[in-house]
Amino acid sequence: MRWTRQACVEFDAEDVLGELRALFTLPDDRIYLDGNSLGALPAAVPHVLQRVVAQEWGQDLISSWNTHEWLQLPQRVGDKIARLVGAAPGELIVTDSTSINLAKVLSAALALARDRSPARTEIVSERTNFPTDLYVAEGVARLAGASLRLVDIDIDSGSDGGGGVRNAVDDHTAVVLLTQVDYRTGRMLDLAEITATAHHAGALMVWDLAHSAGAVPVDLHEADADFAVGCGYKYLNGGPGAPGFVWMHPRHAAEARQPLQGWLGHADPFAFDADYRPAPGVLGFQAGTPPILSLAALECGVDTVLAAEPFGGVAALRAKSTALTSLFIDLVDDRCPGMQVVSPRAAVERGSQVSLTADVGIDMYALVQALISRGVIGDFRAPDVARFGFAPLYTRFVDVWDAVERLAAVTDSEAWRDPRFAQRAPVT
């Protein structure tokens, strides 16, 4: 069809998820297309935090660990996230950051694999994986006397992912570590196919769900994954620095041990034993005291995603996400001839973002800054990619239209050449 702004307005009027936008506080003068980096503020957060601070902390003080069940927050929020990723109650815990959680699960998975076959001493990951995942994997491997091997996996296709992994793993592979949705391009891998291929080779499978949980369908049990970690502040809308989560398949519960043996990972924390006894299952992946204020905010964010359940849940979110990203690609193709889409054009291979690069000579960092000055918030990833995330809970079709109109204006006028847009900020 030939898209018009009025057609986008009509799509928004018919959108069954449209009413959920009211669950967020969004500035009227900006189009926010960066929910893949930081989710928008749930409207409930200020009220909930005010209650937790003023009443629970301010008045009830330390008794709130019992009267308001602060200690149970990591499990309660974890059970809610479990509904979004195909996990059962009690299998997923919210704790620490994604990076720290990844160190825990890689250590546990590596030890499991080597106990079963001492020759398995390699962690295999993708060369273009998110850098922190590679840094963590390298550190875990060094401490364990193992090695990290980086390979090129499924650069051209996410749908038939098993083939790339099959060529990458061998009898020395202990763990395969991949991110379901690539942070730079938005390319999406097939959890079930790749996990099955890793298992066929005798390796354990660890997934990073940072750019997928809350935006695309995830079924960890159906995929038969071994471990997963994820982020609380992107599509789960938990706020800057929100804690991450850990999931472990129950088949590993009796054997898996993570190295950060903190007191809340103990089977009986308030026994204050000198000897460590791990809590059962994923509870043992806790370490220190949970951050109550951050958990309270994250629970509000997860509740916004669960609010889509009466309308079809994650499947409905995925359908809208696909429609939004497809519209963006169509409009960029039509209006912005200097831009090239680097995300997969096949929707099945694409997460909830679209990434662009451009002809030689266009400074993509400056282009993103010029867009931000015009009220369109995306971000930049080195060396030359502009990213746009589409959070289906609050992004509208008319937002997509207006964003591409402003992108076309920036490229046509070469407004990005203004020297102020080339000045690099610490966060891009």
For the chain, give the longest Cα–Cα distance: 70
Report the distance separating Cα 314 and Cα 374, nearest Å. Answer: 32
- Cβ–Cβ < 8 Å for 305, 393: yes
DSSP secondary structure of 379-427: EEETTTEEEEE--TTT--HHHHHHHHHHHHHHHHHTGGGSGGGGSPPS-
Taking alpha carbons only, the member of 209, 216, 238 closest to residue 301 is 238
For residues 360 and 420, the answer to whether their CB atoms sit within 8 Å is: no
The residues that are catalytic are: 130, 208, 233-234, 387
- Separation between Cα atoms, residue 396 and residue 390, nearest integer Å: 9
Backbone angles phi, psi at 235, to 5 degrees: -75, -10
d(CA 3, CA 52) in angstroms, rounded, equals 47
The CA-to-CA distance between both ends of the chain, in Å, stands at 35
Q: What is the DSSP string of 194-218?
A: HHHHHHHTT-EEEEE-TTTTTTS--
